[in-house]
Amino acid sequence: MEFGVFHEFPSLIGRPDSEAFAEAFDIVDGAERWGLDVMWLAELHFDPSRSILSSPMCVASAIAARTSRMKIGIGVQVLPLGNPLRIAEEAATVDQISGGRLIFGVGRSGVAKTYEAYNVPYAESKDRFNETLEIIQRAWAEPVFSHNGTYFRFEDVTVTPRPFQQPMPAIRVAATSADTFLAIGQQGKPIFLAVRHEDARLLAPQIAAYRQAWREAGHPGEGQVYLRAPGYIAATAEAARAESEASLIHYYRAQGALLADSAKRAGMDGAEKRARTAERLMTITYDEAIRGTVLIGTPDSVSQQLADLRADLGLDGILVELNCGGKVAHHHEMEALRLLCQDVMPRFK
């Protein structure tokens, strides 16, 4: 089972961005030292109270230069916001610098105000995503190619550098809607699932549909499924709750406000569902949250939760969000990371 940490490079309110980067890279260095499989990077824009990680490819290059073993995942690159040729070039560069350690995670994001800031209609996000991903794959696989699509047109382009991994880095796709699960299965790509307050087992029917589509398309194996979820580990259950609860609740309140805002914006799919979720997150308690897939506890209890999830969903890997909300004290987050790597991860290898 692959173990990763999902990291937003949280802002430190009242402190310089340089200190936020320093603490985040301290986490990266600890992950490399303690044997974590993958460090996963978010892409977040225009939210200075939450994150400084607006340029995951730049940060991925820095991680590649300071590590030699750990893989570097983009979780996720928001494809509709960028130029596909530029994304292909930058991702291939990271793959070269890292010696083939890039995992290229892609998705659309649900933050409508970011699309508005980039002057990209959210209603176009799905079609832009599909066209952009097609171009990136062709850019990596074909020596010279042309494209005449809805949003991009060019002739006789050669992208350089080529990726270190041939024919291209591993691509994983964030799955949300039912049709997305089927489409990704048909394409033969691994999927991400993300939960922060729900029970991941509610997604079992969609996972089954994904794997059926995978098999029916003739791909070998069963299809790979990776889960991102909040988590935190301490020596005792009491310490785990005390050190993470305020940050988790802060996240839920902030996410509720963000979802409520997105639900009101033009072109947003699933607006009613987002509004209902926002309302729930504004009042959710810690005890209610941990009834879902929230991996907070001791090494023993978190290991048992993971073992149960792997058995129920057939998980191939986990992306643990150790500082969901960005408010966990740095020294506590470092210790949670050490416990994840040294006390939990070895039980699944």
What proportions of the chain, in percent to the nearest 5, are helix, strand and coil? Answer: 50, 15, 30
Q: Which amino acid is it at 142?
A: E
> What pTM did the predictor assign?
0.95
Asked if residues 102 and 94 have their Cβ atoms less than 8 Å apart, the reply is yes
Please give the chain's pLDDT, 349 residues, in tens.
Answer: 999 999 999 999 999 999 999 999 999 999 999 999 999 999 999 999 999 999 999 999 999 999 999 999 999 999 999 999 999 999 999 999 999 999 999 999 988 899 999 999 999 999 999 999 999 999 999 999 999 999 999 999 999 999 999 999 999 999 988 889 999 999 999 999 999 888 999 999 999 999 999 999 999 999 999 999 999 999 999 999 999 999 999 999 999 998 888 887 766 676 777 788 889 899 999 999 999 999 999 999 999 999 999 999 999 999 999 999 999 999 999 999 999 999 999 999 9
Domain at 2-236+293-348: CATH code: 3.20.20.30
Outline where 39-83 has alpha helix (H).
56-66
Asked if residues 113 and 46 have their Cβ atoms less than 8 Å apart, the reply is yes
What one-character-per-residue DSSP string does 256-325 give?
HHHHHHHHTSTT-TTHHHHHHHHHHHTT--HHHHTTSS-EEE-HHHHHHHHHHHHHHH--SEEEEETTTT
Q: Is 61 helix (H, G, I), strand (E, B) or coil?
A: helix
Please provide the size of the chain in residues. 349
Q: How far apart are CA 274 and CA 258, in angstroms?
A: 10
Q: Which two tokens stand for residue 349?
A: 């290898």
